[in-house]
Structure 1
Amino acid sequence: MERARRTVMSKDETIIEGAGNVFDDLGMPDAAAELVKAQLTFQIAKRIKALGLRQTAAAARLGISQPDVSRLMKRRPTGFS
């Protein structure tokens, strides 16, 4: 999924196109794992919304606590591995 980086010049600024992983672009450790977590979190939240589940019902289905579902819905996958 990695794209070639390119630089686009305008009058007063340089814009560098990302490589497809913002975590890698920012130099974060374990960038690939962070991207997968972000993508998975997005898909889980999307599915919960599509099913019209309340957080307590989603928590029961997923086997996690309601506060954990709340974090997922806010796209904050901290604490999950």
Structure 2
Amino acid sequence: MTTRHTTLRKTALGTIGSGNVFADLGFPEPEIELAKANLVIKIDETIEKRGLTYARASKLMEMPRQELTRLLHGHTGPYTVERLKEFLSRLSP
């Protein structure tokens, strides 16, 4: 990781971030990390909205259930934004 983002502002009540926690923490590609996080949230919401089990969702997404669990716990490193979009589209009815 790199140094923290310089747009953090100190106030009497605490620190105000930039709106992108990945930038604030100094990730090298914060916009991509934020996009991945937002896609994982949508994947999780879609699974819940459709009432899918993780086993059924992983079959629809064509990935092992253990990988789905890791993804939903925030391990997005091995996936591109495009791949996550593909997973999301496979979950759509």
TM-score class normalised by the smaller sequence? 0.7 to 0.9
Higher relative CO (CA 8 A, sep ≥ 6), structure 1 or 2? 2
Deviation track 1:23-53 (CA, whole Å, cap 9, x = no partner) reads: 0011110011011111111110111111111
Q: Is the 8 A contact 1:24 1:31 kept in 2?
A: yes
Q: Distance in 1 between matches of 2:18 and 2:70?
A: 27
Q: Distance in 1 between matches of 2:37 and 2:24?
A: 15
Look at both structures and tell me which one has the larger radius of gyration over its CA atoms. Answer: 1
TM-score under structure 1 length normalisation: 0.76
- The structure richer in helix per residue is 2
Identical positions, percent: 30
Measure how far apart 1:6 and its partner are.
Answer: 4.1
Give the length in aligned residue pairs: 74
Can you give the 5+ residue segments of structure 1 that lack an aligned partner in the other structure? none
| 2:73 paired residue number | 74
Alignment RMSD, CA only?
Answer: 1.8
TM-score under structure 2 length normalisation: 0.68
| 1:43 paired residue number | 42
